Structure 1
Amino acid sequence: MSISLLLEMAESSQPDREALVSGELRWTTAELSRLADGAAGVITETGARHVAYVGTGAEMLPLLLFGAAGASVPVTPLNYRLSGDGVRALVERLPDPLVVVDEDYRHVVEGERVITSTDFLSAAQVADPTSGFADPDAVAVVLFTSGTTSTPKAVELTHNNLTSYVTGTVEFDSAEPGDAALVCVPPYHVAGVGAALSNLYAGRKIVYLKNFEAREWLRLLGEERVSSATVVPTMLDRIVDALEKSGAEYPVPSSLRTLAYGGSKVALPLVRRATAAFPGVGLVNAYGLTETSSTIAVLTPEDHRDALAATDPDALRRLGSVGRPVPGVEVQIRADDGTVLVAGETGELYVRGEQVSGRYTDVGSLLDAEGWFPTKDRAMLDDAGYLFLGGRSDDTIIRGGENIAPAEIEDVLVEHPQVGHCAVVGLEDSEWGQIIVAVVVPLPDTTPDADDLRAYVRAQLRGSRTPDRVVFRHELPTNATGKVLRRELVDELDAHSKESA
């Protein structure tokens, strides 16, 4: 079904419900629906075959999602953090687009068919409304992958992919009166798209924070009586820091029931700190990919509580998993030769389901004959069906002919009492093929010793997993969702090695 139906259902059920808050702006479900029809009219009038958006999101994201759907054209939120050349290169890959841009980023786009967000909203308020339901198999959203190691790929998500995700994971109109979701993930990330659609469908008010700042996030939490929130790991780290340093200024409100984190791997020390900082709040670890229309596995609040209270080692380690697949999603772990592996064996994660796209512009579908998508994530399922991630296949270090997953070493290093954050990468080496380099961000007011850290790893893993080198940095390079930019680390370390040679 078309995503337009999600908005129609929400309006039919509760037209006067406050649906969206962004700064001083507040829209009811009916107002959002009316403006979306106007937005569809504006888009149709231009004759554009695609809509691109450059900006920080908030109200513009749902408006353009439903406006483009009503006009039966796809929409692409772009990474506004890119350089002007980077943004223009992505716009040029879209067919005959209308570009909607926030005023702060107007200088990075050019061309005749460009309109500011303010002018677009004004036009939508007076345009002849257009409403329609696109073909469920038509492309609704195109998102560019982060491109941390290669040229960004354009992932195509159909209306059916997105609505399958929403209806498979959320019950319609299930929110309690007054429920509110605080959203601060960027609009160009699939989690931002998923949040706009699923919260509206559930009947939950969406409170947008355009530019994340921990204290402002905590303030909004109390002011809007937020019941659920979603953050990426870097945000969670800063929020917990703020609570630990000045929690009395912005206490966690009793309204908050769940706090979801995801987007990249979260270290166990941070999960334990978050548990202490948010007593009584259910933590949720959500794992998904752009190609799967958002979440495909969830570690629920009950899972968190059970793991934290467990004495059995297998149950305890599930705190480091991403939980179990959501309804409608199947998973397999496969060896390099395609053999399906049993519980406890590590290989590549394959997923299948109606919400799984696996299709790229100019490339086509990567689904196999039976509909399985290769995620390129290393993973393992335990006997109870909990999914453990081991990093990207591309990140694997091959040292002396042995395949080594960086995550295995990182999970040990981050537990050291003087380590705040870390990333492990492989550097080319004439003797071993690659050597293991651990890049460590120390905790404040600590000065860890490299040999001590190497010994710490050696005591818990095989000797072949011991870092050959330990490098200290003030911070790790990450993207907006907290994923470490490993390619950037490798390039810097390679350049430094050549200078030192």
Structure 2
Amino acid sequence: MSISLLLEMASSDPDRTAVVSDDIRLSTGELSALADGGAGVVAASGARHVAYVGTGGAILPLLLFASARAAVPVTPLNYRLSTDGLRALLDRLPDPLVVVDAEYRDAVGEGYRLMDSAEFVEAARAAEPVTEFADPDAVAVVLFTSGTTSKPKAVELTHNNLTSYVTGTVEFASADPGDAALICVPPYHIAGVGAALSNLYAGRKMVYLRHFDAHEWVRLVGTENVTSATVVPTMLDRIVAVLDADKVTLPSLRTLAYGGSKVALPLVRKALSLLPEVGFVNAYGLTETSSTIAVLTPDDHRTALASTDDGAARRLGSVGQPVPGIEVQIRGEDGSVLGPGEPGELFVRGEQVSGRYTDIGSVLDEQGWFPTRDVAYLDADGYLFIGGRSDDTIIRGGENIAPAEIEDVLVEHPHVRDCAVVGAEDPEWGQIIVAVVVPRPDTDPDVEELRAYVRTRLRGSRTPDRVVFRSELPANATGKILRRELVAELNATSSKEPA
């Protein structure tokens, strides 16, 4: 099934508002007509790929569907990259048409077939329409991984991968007539692509906030009667701060999903207390899996928060259970499938799982399982707990230590606002445990007190060897902590210290 069909199905109600972005408002019928014209622009250009550099909004769903109807893959790129970074990725795409927001035109530079985003929209209004239904197994979207630990990989997602995700997790036209989704995740992230496809299919008005600001986010929820939204952890933190300071309520909001990286439990509890009528959803997924593969539902949140049973209460820190159509396994280093409570590497399988990279090919095993490289475990009831990337494991004196285990304890200290635990080079132990702590305002945490706090709750080998303080943790646009940046800083500092 081509993603083109999602828009065609949604267009059965042509007058319904589909997209709101700044001063642009498009009905499903208008979006479909623009997509047909946009496909004509792409086809006339002769390009074999469409690239987009910009902050998104209405142009993102337009390019997704225009490219699909021209049977050409599309790639939204990280507009925050340097000129060299952008050009390095553009040069990996075959003969692209580059659609770029005006403010990023200079960053792209010369040497490409370029169109301004506004110019593309105007051209789409006048172009000869093209409607081609791509092969379901053809590549629809290519997304580059963040590349925080290595050269970015180009993940290939087929039409079938994406539509399997949407149709497997969303009921067609299931939204109420007044439902609206506020979208503020980056267009180059799988969550941005998934939001455009799934909300259109469900029948929700999509309200775009292209530049995140917590006060503006709260204002839009009110003015557009937003009923659902998705945020990353850094956004949730800032929204909670505004709600707490201004004593604002959000009566229209029914569902708030968060994901992209691990969220500290004190922040989750605070958000739940400020918005008791809102259903919170923790969504876990990867680029290679076409977005969400596991969900902690609103009922799961409420049950865990109210439970006096340790096992049930602990699920507030899980990512829930797999979505329909997804299978999961936890495997040991020898490849054996592990039982409940045993940590290992998470493998996933399903129609929405791609596991294919440009120039590399598929990394699925013979049975179709994808290695996520995430350390995880399942509890006895099938709730999935993510312990971080396998690359982040600290090896201290030959013992493997998961940073998340220590972070989950340390962040509960009343003087700790946020933290990240990493391994720094050490001549004696190989690596030592370093806790990088962001203190709560108006507190002055004591290093030895923090170390003792961890030691009394975990075995001694998990006690941080060092504690350092920062005003904030380095993170990318989706809230992932840039651990390699912290490690590089710590190792550089260590090498300068006198022997």
TM-score normalised to the size of structure 1?
0.99
Q: Which residue of structure 1 aligns with residue 35 of structure 2? A: 36
Amino acid at match of 1:167: T
Bigger mean CA deviation after superposition, 282-291 or 270-279:
270-279
Cα deviation, residue 429, structure 1 = 1.0
CA distance in 2, matches of 1:368, 1:268: 35
Q: Deviations 1:423-450 (Å, cap 9, x if unpaired)? A: 0000111111110000000011111011
The 5 Å alignment of 1:487-498 reads: 487-498=484-495
The residue aligned with 1:478 is: 475
Give the match's secondary structure for 1:218.
helix
In the alignment, is residue 392 of structure 1 matched against residue 389 of structure 2? yes
- Tell me the secondary structure at the aligned position of residue 58 of structure 1: coil
Contact kept, 8 Å, 2:345 with 2:374, in 1: the verdict is yes
Structure 1 residues 438-486: Cα deviation after superposition (integer angstroms, max 9, x where no partner): 0000011111011110110000001000000001001100000100000
Give CA-to-partner distance per residue, 1:279-335, whole Å, 9 cap, x none.
210000000000000000000000000001111100000000000000000000000
Partner in structure 2 of residue 350 of structure 1:
347
Distance 1:295 1:277 in 2: 26
- Opposite residue 19 of structure 2, the aligned amino acid is L
Match of 1:75, as an amino acid?
V
Alignment of 1:41-440 (within 5 A): 41-109=40-108, 110-248=110-248, 251-252=249-250, 254-440=251-437
What are the superposed Cα offsets for residues 266-288 of structure 1, whole Å, 9 maximum, x if unpaired? 01000001001112100000000
2:25 equivalent in structure 1: 26
C-alpha contact 2:419 2:435 (8 A) present in aligned 1: yes
SS in 2 for 1:279: coil
TM superposition shift of 1:111: 1.9
Give the secondary-structure state (helix, strand or coil) at the position aligned to 1:156.
strand
Distance 2:472 2:84 in 1: 26
**Is the 2:168–2:324 contact (alpha carbons within 8 Å) kept by the matching residues of 1?**
yes
Amino acid at match of 1:353: G
Q: 2:302, 2:53 → 1: CA distance?
A: 40
Instruction: Name the amino acid aligned to 2:145.
Output: T
Distance in 2 between residues matched to 1:166 and 1:141, nearest whole Å: 14
Calculate the aligned-residue CA RMSD, in Å. 0.6
Match of 1:9 in 2: 9
> Separation in 2 of the partners of 1:445 and 1:361?
49
- Residues 79-137 of structure 1: CA distance to partner in whole angstroms, max 9, x if unpaired? 00111110111000000000000001000112240111011111011000101110000
Given candidates 444, 453, 460, the residue that maps to 1:447 is 444
AA in 2 matched with 1:177: P
Q: 3-state SS of the aligned residue for 1:238?
A: helix
* SS in structure 2 of the partner of residue 198 of structure 1: helix
User: Aligned to 1:441, what secondary structure does the other structure show?
Assistant: strand
Q: 1:31 is paired with a residue of what secondary structure?
A: helix
Matched to 1:146, the amino acid is S
In 2, Cα distance between the equivalents of 1:305 and 1:473? 33
Structure 1 residue 164 displacement after superposition: 0.0
2:98, 2:112 within 8 Å by CA — same for their partners in 1? no
Work out the CA distance in 2 between the residues paired with 1:383 and 1:488.
36
Q: Which amino acid aligns with 1:280?
A: E
Q: Deviations over 1:173-226 (max 9, x none)?
A: 000111000000000000000000000000010000000000000000000001
**Following the alignment from structure 1 to structure 2, what is the Cα–Cα distance between the partners of residues 335 and 403?**
13
Give the whole-Å Cα distance in 2 for the aligned partners of 1:232 and 1:207.
17
The residue number in structure 1 matching 2:453 is: 456
Distance 2:494 2:242 in 1: 37
The separation in 2 between residues aligned to 1:149 and 1:471, in whole angstroms, is 22
Look up the equivalent residue of 2:330 and give its one-letter code. I
Report the Cα offset of residue 247 of structure 1: 2.4
Distance 2:365 2:454 in 1: 39
Q: Distance in 2 between matches of 1:477 and 1:112?
A: 33
Aligned length: 497
Q: Residue type of the partner of 1:68?
A: S
Identical counterparts, % of pairs: 75
Take 1:311 and 1:92, find their aligned partners in 2: how far apart are those partners? 56
1:23 offset after TM fit, Å?
1.0
For residue 346 of structure 1, report the CA deviation from its aligned partner: 0.5
Q: Deviations over 1:29-87 (max 9, x none)?
A: 00000000111000000100000000000111100000000110100000001111101
**3-state SS, counterpart of residue 472 of structure 2:** coil
Letter of the structure 1 residue corresponding to residue 48 of structure 2: R
Alpha-carbon distance in 1 for matches of 2:116, 2:24: 17
Aligned to 2:11, the other structure's residue is in SS state helix
Q: Which amino acid aligns with 1:472?
A: F
Q: Hey, what's the Cα distance between the residues in 2 that align with 1:105 and 1:186?
A: 15
Q: Partner of 2:97: helix, strand, or coil?
A: strand
CA contact (8 A) 2:97 2:112 kept: no
Deviation at 1:255, TM superposition (A): 1.7
Q: Tell me the SS of whatever aligns to 2:187.
A: coil
Q: What CA distance in whole angstroms lies between the structure 2 residues aligned with 1:119 and 1:129?
A: 16
Q: Which residues of structure 1 form unaligned runs of 5+? A: none
